[in-house]
Amino acid sequence: MTLLEIFFIISWLIIFFLALDIGRRKKFNALHFLVFLFVWAFLAWIAFVPEILQFIWNIFWVQRGADVLVYSSIIFLVYFVLLLLRKVEDNSEELTTLIREIAIQNSPKDVIKGKEVFIIPSYNEWKVLISTVKNILNNNYKNILIINDGSRDNTEALIEDNFWENKNIILLNHYKNRGQGAALETGFEYIRRYGKIEYIITFDADGQHDINDVAIFEKQAKNHEKTDIFLGSRFLSKRKVWIPIIRRIILKWWIIFTFLLSNIHLTDTHNGFRLIRPSVLSKLKLTIDWMGHASEVLDIIAEHKIAYKEVPVHIIYTDYSLAKWQSSMNAFKIAGRMIWNKFFK
């Protein structure tokens, strides 16, 4: 047995026992598993079939031992870059948690009582937010929790000026924009601590959700007491609305993607209009700050086997809401991030 073979056998054993230790401490994710599996198998192969090394060198035109070092270094550099990205993401999550806690601690901490509460994430929505809130109040709903997600307009001043006498409207302020998912989770966390209500309604600030559909949600919740989450679907509604063809294709593509990723089949996977029972909030903890939180909700539903049901809703598209639509390419960015979070986080 040559010194090279001994070196590979020792390296193989070290990798093997290191992987066992990490697995025992439950610190494995899919990325670590794949890297360790590849390195372990490669070293085992070389250790017990050393002739294969020369064959591999010939395939990759390796003429010198130094070339092997260069190629190996590139592989491990990519691996450590991925680890660095994961660390950056961890730091981002910690920052979001800190911003959330500051927002809650600076709030009045009033207990929310009643039948339902509307959670409205808002970022630079001053043009429509006041009319959206008034529309809710005019339909005899009273509890509204607004999360001002680091808006750079005068959202905070507008809410305080228009509704300062209404103690049922609570405003939570993120001092830095963190995304719609982070804003929703801030609202959920406030309800976990101070909510004594039957239903949570997630409602967009731009006015595209039809307030009349809330009654349909609540009727469904009353008739299906064992169902915890009711998801709005614009494609089940009898009232047909115009959606640009590219947007419609993307929405249909998301149905297939969600099914493959979470094994959940829905007709509308990215609709922010929902009714949620507070009892399920202990499981429904969002970690994705941005728009990808809609897919994370479905992932959590699948993971915890939460009972859900789709409800037909009417979406009111206006020039304002249409202008806010994200680019088509952003859907692929969200898909990539969802794959990363599911398998490599």
In 3D, which of 190, 174, 277, 147 has the Cα closest to residue 225? 277
> Is 102 a domain residue?
no
**68 and 122 co-located in one domain:** no
What pLDDT score was predicted for residue 256? 86
- Kindly tell me if the per-residue pLDDT of 134 is higher than 80: yes
> Is 256 a domain residue?
yes
Mean pLDDT over each residue of the chain, to the nearest integer? 83
What share of the chain in percent tops pLDDT 90?
49
Enter the DSSP assignment of 50: T
Residues 269-302: b if buried by 16+ CB within 10 A, e if exposed: bbbbbbbbbbebbeebebbbbebbbbbbbbbbbe
What pLDDT score was predicted for residue 11? 65
**141 and 27 co-located in one domain:** no
pLDDT tens-digit readout, 317-332: 877 776 776 655 666 6
Which of 97, 132, 162 represents a domain boundary (last residue)? 97
Would you give the distance in Å from CA 203 to the centre of its chain? 17
Asked if 294 and 250 count as a contact pair (C-beta separation under 8 A), the reply is no
> Is 107 a domain residue?
no
**93 and 26 co-located in one domain:** yes
Tally the domains of the chain.
2
> Is 105 a domain residue?
no
**52 and 164 co-located in one domain:** no
**Average pLDDT of 64-92?**
69
> Is 142 a domain residue?
yes
In 3D, which of 238, 202, 226 has the Cα closest to residue 309? 226
> Is 24 a domain residue?
yes
For the domain that residue 216 is a member of, what is the CATH number? 3.90.550.10
- Least confident piece of the model among 202-206, 288-292, 328-332: 328-332
**157 and 242 co-located in one domain:** yes
Query: Which range of residues forms the domain containing residue 84?
Result: 3-97
Please give the model's pTM, rounded to 2 decimal places: 0.78
**Average pLDDT of 77-99?**
82
**Average pLDDT of 137-158?**
95
pLDDT tens-digit readout, 32-43: 666 667 776 776
> Is 342 a domain residue?
no
What pLDDT score was predicted for residue 3? 58
**191 and 288 co-located in one domain:** yes
